[in-house]
Structure 1
Amino acid sequence: PALAASMIARCAGPKKFFGFIEIMFRSQPQWSRSQNPMQALTKVARFGGLSGDDVQACLKRQTLLDHIRKIAEVGQNTHKVTSTPFFIIGDQTVSGAQPFDAFKKVLDKALSK
């Protein structure tokens, strides 16, 4: 379901992308645990202005699917992404949910260069 959510957010277009990402994260507990996650995702997409037909057409876009998979592959192979969230700051990474101090340390080091 997460891959489908990513595809739907991209199909919403650049102006609506981040709004869709926000609503997908906020509603993730509902759609990810739903008996029918695709139906639940379609319902969420409707709130953002996409029809059920729009969602179905989006999910059939092989080039988009390939693009998202390629991004994930590059992240895993190049940057050793193993979890989310994952941040690349300069030449350092921050993986998983971390306290502010973990980010501050990495940011301070990057800014000192």
Structure 2
Amino acid sequence: MRASGPFKYASMSRRAAVTGAALAAMTMLAACSGAQTGAAAEGDMAMGAAEGAKVTVVEYASVTCGHCAAWQAQVYPEFKAKYIDTNKIRYVFREFPTDPAPVAIAGFLIARCAGPDKYFPVIHEIMASQREIFGGVPPRTVLLRIANGAGLTEEQFQTCVTDADALKAMDARIKAGIDAGVQGTPWFMVNGEHVADSSLTGLSEKIDAALAES
């Protein structure tokens, strides 16, 4: 799929939405040394304005997606300062694992286990560590280090990434994204409308127009 902005999409493996396969894969990792996309959904992680804000920006992303990490490093700081820190929008992050799905799912679970206050810092740190994860360092080593830094013990880490209820909830979130028509990551929605250009200019055009509406 071709993206109109500088950040291309990472394709989503639909097999990642199968809870049984995800659970089996995560067990191995731990043991190894039609929805409305603009509407609130169970499990949403958000910042900025409160629910019901005039403008809601939803990002579907994966911690193992290189294009997501690029957006995080190059666009997010200014985007956050302009719209989130000023409470002009409600920013919602939705988890949409890309290959290797077990690593992405583990990263998301760890972020949730770290707690709401540490969720986004953990997500951002995993994205920033992709070079290690894809460069030969065992993913478990990287994820455990990040989990430890967020206050989780190794035992809590292993319990977290093999939690059947958490995996079931993750599976539901993945399926909701697929049902909503998400075709890659990063995938942005402004008030329920997909914005293909994920540059600050592209997003600002849609956001500012929505903010200006009476």
Query: How far did 1:74 drift?
Result: 0.7
Distance 1:35 1:23, change over 3 A: closer
TM superposition score normalised by structure 1: 0.83
Residue 93 of structure 1: SS of its match in structure 2? strand
TM superposition score normalised by structure 2: 0.47
Counterpart for residue 144 of structure 2: 42
Contact 1:20–1:48, Cα closer than 8 Å, also in 2: yes
Counterpart for residue 61 of structure 1: 163
Indicate the RMSD between aligned Cα atoms, in angstroms. 1.9
Q: Does 1:94 align with 2:190?
A: no
Greater per-residue helix proportion: 1
Per-residue Cα deviation, 1:1-44 (whole angstroms, up to 9, x for no partner)? 01100001101111221221121121122124435212321122
Flag structure 1 segments of 5+ consecutive residues without an equivalent. Answer: none
Q: Does 1:25 align with 2:127?
A: yes
Per-residue Cα deviation, 1:78-105 (whole angstroms, up to 9, x for no partner)? 2x1122222221131124x722221122
Q: Give aligned-pair identity as a percent.
A: 28
1: CA distance, partners of 2:192 / 2:104: 28
Query: How far did 1:109 drift?
Result: 3.5
Count of residue pairs brought into register by the alignment: 111
Counterpart for residue 173 of structure 2: 71
1: CA distance, partners of 2:116 / 2:175: 23
Flag structure 2 segments of 5+ consecutive residues without an equivalent. Answer: 1-102
